[in-house]
Amino acid sequence: MASDHLPTTRRLERLLQSDAPRAEDRGPDDGEDARWAVGADFSLDGATDWVNSPPLTGADLRGRVVAVNFWTLTCINWLRQLPYVRAWEEAWRDAGLVVVGVHSPEFSFEHDVTEVRRAVEARSIRYPVAVDSHFVVWRSFHNHFWPALYLVDAEGRLRHHAFGEGGYEETESVLRRLLTEAGAGDLGPEPVPVDARGVEAPADWDTLRSAENYLGYDRTTGFASPGRLVADRAHVYATPARMRSGHWALAGAWTIGRESSVVEDPGGRLTCRFHARDLHLVVAPPAGGSARIRVRLDGRPPGADSGEDVDASGEGVVTEPRLYQLLRRRGAVTDATAEIEFLDPGAGIYAFTFG
């Protein structure tokens, strides 16, 4: 999605590249320079819970350089930014840097602090995370983006912000300058070594042609099953004989809701036509259970093109609500068709993302 705060060049990039900064307008449009007034008290009082730390306030953080990172656990852009934030925190925590993650949820299941804690553990996040379930911290920054990074100097002044992926060299340069101003000594090799693997690895921007798409009726595009979309009640759909790139379809009995679609019977299928190296699906298991899936790439098991959440035969299991990497193509990237069959009912699908 786009926002009025995106520069023109970034909006143009959004037309050409998938998964530019995800944006949700949850606060007033205060302008590019009104993010956080210089000299304002630094406060995270709106957090509803904390992970890895007791509650922190501006008084706790004054005198330290602070990086505030807004995220939500299913955001592919945040997942690909995370290795850099994690590396900076590990390199400079003893030099005066404090990273504070702020989890502001997008999907309904992301309000569950248990899922936030699970993501923190799975992603080896050791720094404090404020749980911002009601977007109070988000609004206090006049933030509009997942992910967003705000750098605050040791005197509590906002000195830099970055939205979405990229700009890591500039962000690291600003961090080094702020730490040096605060009296830090040797800050080590430049750039800080970053280890980005699996779903955290950078996208293949040169071949990426598919854009993120939501799978509930409120924000979806490109729904291709014949007939009309039936909202909020079970309906039997079919896959069309042909699909354009960027389109998706269902087969079998599904209930398409506002933010997700739920498979009602075993054997329901989700198909999409895409052009990207990586294919991810945000999906949740049925309540209290799990759901087996079978992935096909152009009608065949993915083999070496399987993602980290399925095996070479395309088999996988949805056990928790999160982003699953289904495909990582190793050869030439062209238009392709992915089909995901749900062998168990009750799973909810929320979004496709690509890389």
Q: Is 205 part of any domain?
A: no
Q: Kindly state the percentage of the chain with pLDDT values over 70.
A: 88
Asked whether residue 168 falls in the same domain as residue 21, the answer is yes
pLDDT at 62: 86
CATH number, domain containing residue 312: 2.60.120.260
Q: Is the dihedral of CA 57, 63, 69, 73 positive or negative?
A: negative
Length of the chain: 355
- 129 pLDDT more than 70: yes
Binned at pLDDT 50, 70 and 90, residue 24 comes out as very low
State which residues form the domain around 324: 213-354
- Total structural domains in the chain? 2
Mean pLDDT, range 296-301, rounded to an integer: 98
Mean pLDDT, range 76-82, rounded to an integer: 98
Q: Kindly state the percentage of the chain with pLDDT values over 90.
A: 84
Q: Is 208 part of any domain?
A: no
**pLDDT per residue over 172-211, tens digit each?**
999 999 999 999 999 999 999 999 999 999 999 999 999 9
pLDDT at 42: 53
3-state SS assignment for residue 173: helix
Q: Is 39 part of any domain?
A: yes
d(CA 163, CA 45): 23
Asked whether residue 170 falls in the same domain as residue 219, the answer is no
Name the least confident of 38-42, 187-191, 349-353: 38-42
pLDDT at 84: 98
Asked whether residue 256 falls in the same domain as residue 123, the answer is no
Asked whether residue 188 falls in the same domain as residue 325, the answer is no
Q: Determine how β-strand 261-263 pairs with β-strand 248-256.
A: antiparallel
Asked whether residue 75 falls in the same domain as residue 179, the answer is yes
Q: Is 171 part of any domain?
A: yes
Distance of CA 186 to the CA centre of its chain: 33
Asked whether residue 161 falls in the same domain as residue 266, the answer is no
Asked whether residue 152 falls in the same domain as residue 228, the answer is no
Of the residues 158, 179, 200, the one at which a domain ends: 200
Of the residues 174, 200, 226, the one at which a domain ends: 200
How many CB atoms are closer than 10 A to CB 193? 9
Of the residues 179, 200, 221, the one at which a domain ends: 200
pLDDT at 14: 31
CATH number, domain containing residue 163: 3.40.30.10
Asked whether residue 34 falls in the same domain as residue 118, the answer is yes
